[in-house]
Structure 1
């Protein structure tokens, strides 16, 4: 085989792999035409499917771009890195058209491993993105994070604990070089005991919070405190945009109001938006006024 034939074969193989990645991604059609996809990147050297992430870049991206890290919800026990995108498709398109890259990360579910496995995975994923930023045209100095429900909890926890030296949130021998500069928290729990009390104060060992911790938050307030984002609020934290549904049936809006109060007391810039008539998730969070708030906030803080 001569050089020319080898080169042609390599090019065809590249495009075959690229086409396969596109065909196996169930949400790629939600993105603007021409979006560049890097699919199922392993951020840990193991075989776990949950230790993978996807990167979406605007078409023809060349310069290093500010990155939005997408953390899915699902009560810490279900869903994957494609979750929450279907009802946020307009926001996704607006992010890429505004010059942001998106990295959607997966993490181990609470039925696979209890806390702090989930936040350890998030730290590993973001560190991978930081260390490989140039490879994927990412600006390592402009990382923001957006999370939904359980993902909102993890996004907030990751950002708030990044300057507190919490070694249990990092796996042995792992690095933590990155810095999160902005947080968008969609209806994430901020205090697991108050979340449990809002459900009647029942010591329920089968609740999502109990499965996450390995015990009810009411029975083990010490474990709940470690997992609470509000535990780590201080004056050096990044700005927050917090968005919650008025009629959220799973996470009470007071969870977001409480987080905002702690941030305000510490002098951290934040805003809370309570979306009228909105439930726990859905297209009301993708409405134009909310979308514009998100894009404006991230543009101001990252660009």
Structure 2
């Protein structure tokens, strides 16, 4: 618990579906002294849809993790199946099942369901964006049959998440991370690539976005964030974009004080 402020309460390894899969688990971190019902930030880890876990990204984002809890917000971090276990939309089905658990058990943990935001990193930024953008479309294929589907989000914080799978240099390779996600080279199956791309789901009913990307990112080009930013702007959705000078893909530069202040300012404004 050294990453977390003193007094943080952990509810760990909670199954969000009634099965035995190790990837169907989530963690909930509650602030030390909650004042009534608390806002909830849902953390979606990165790893190319094929690695890492619900603790990932917290190490280099420890200042932001601490700020979220010190502000009196709850934090929930979720696991989901890798593309090596199941192709898209399995990841969306899992994330939405985790959300259903959190919304259904809000009373138990003291969540304020009128103040919920998503935060994701790389592949997790992609999934957070997909959840936030597709939520109002209620796409059957993105949900487990037995979970509730009525979510509302005040905002999405997307750190360097892919926006359009066709934009990747490896879009012609089924063995690339994006190819493994959909089970085919995106250029060979543009229908699958479109279904798995956040830009597909942008409309005027979407929540506000804070988009953060490294200027020198050579794994997920900042073109992804610029594209999503422009689509959100065209549809009249509030969006803020930060391109971090000299930054590559992930790392402590994204936890710098000025970035952290923008993130917390965005959340505070959304949670008013």
Taking structure 2 as the reference length, what is the TM-score of the superposition?
Answer: 0.98
Q: Tell me the distance in 2 between the aligned counterparts of 1:210 and 1:39.
A: 32
Q: Name the structure 2 match of 1:76.
A: 49
Q: Name the structure 1 match of 2:219.
A: 250
In the TM superposition, residue 174 of structure 1 has moved relative to its aligned partner by 2.4
In the TM superposition, residue 62 of structure 1 has moved relative to its aligned partner by 5.3
Q: Tell me the distance in 2 between the aligned counterparts of 1:122 and 1:88.
A: 21
Q: Tell me the distance in 2 between the aligned counterparts of 1:172 and 1:129.
A: 17
Secondary structure of 1:163's aligned partner: helix
Residues 272-300 of structure 1: per-residue CA shift (max 9 Å, x gap) = 10001111000000000000000000010
Residues 141-162 of structure 1: per-residue CA shift (max 9 Å, x gap) = 2110000000000000000000
Q: Name the structure 2 match of 1:5.
A: none
Q: Over aligned residues, Cα RMSD in angstroms?
A: 0.9
Alignment partner of 1:57 is 2:26: no
Choose from 165, 169, 177 the match for 1:208: 177
8 Å contact from structure 1 (residues 62, 137) kept in 2: no
Query: Structure 1 residues 167-176 or 78-87, which shifts more?
Result: 167-176
Q: What are the equivalent positions in structure 2 for 1:144-183 lying under 5 Å apart?
A: 144-183=117-156
Q: Name the structure 2 match of 1:98.
A: 71
Q: Tell me the distance in 2 between the aligned counterparts of 1:257 and 1:127.
A: 31
8 Å contact from structure 1 (residues 160, 237) kept in 2: yes
Alignment partner of 1:234 is 2:207: no
Q: Name the structure 2 match of 1:188.
A: 161
Q: Tell me the distance in 2 between the aligned counterparts of 1:38 and 1:66.
A: 16
Alignment partner of 1:278 is 2:242: no
The gaps in structure 2 that reach 5 residues or longer are none
Residues 240-276 of structure 1: per-residue CA shift (max 9 Å, x gap) = 0000001111000010000000000000000110001
Alignment partner of 1:111 is 2:80: no
Alignment partner of 1:137 is 2:106: no
Q: Tell me the distance in 2 between the aligned counterparts of 1:144 and 1:272.
A: 17
8 Å contact from structure 1 (residues 182, 239) kept in 2: yes
Q: Tell me the distance in 1 between the aligned counterparts of 2:78 and 2:153.
A: 15
Q: Give the number of aligned pairs.
A: 272
Taking structure 1 as the reference length, what is the TM-score of the superposition?
Answer: 0.88
Question: Comparing both structures, which one devotes a greater share of its residues to helix?
Answer: 1
The gaps in structure 1 that reach 5 residues or longer are 1-27
Residues 100-131 of structure 1: per-residue CA shift (max 9 Å, x gap) = 11000000011000000001100000111001
Q: Name the structure 2 match of 1:120.
A: 93
8 Å contact from structure 1 (residues 65, 99) kept in 2: yes
Q: Tell me the distance in 1 between the aligned counterparts of 2:242 and 2:29.
A: 27
Q: Name the structure 2 match of 1:299.
A: 268
Q: Tell me the distance in 1 between the aligned counterparts of 2:174 and 2:269.
A: 42
Q: Tell me the distance in 2 between the aligned counterparts of 1:282 and 1:233.
A: 28
Q: Tell me the distance in 1 between the aligned counterparts of 2:100 and 2:28.
A: 14
Secondary structure of 2:49's aligned partner: coil
Moved over 2 A (4+): none
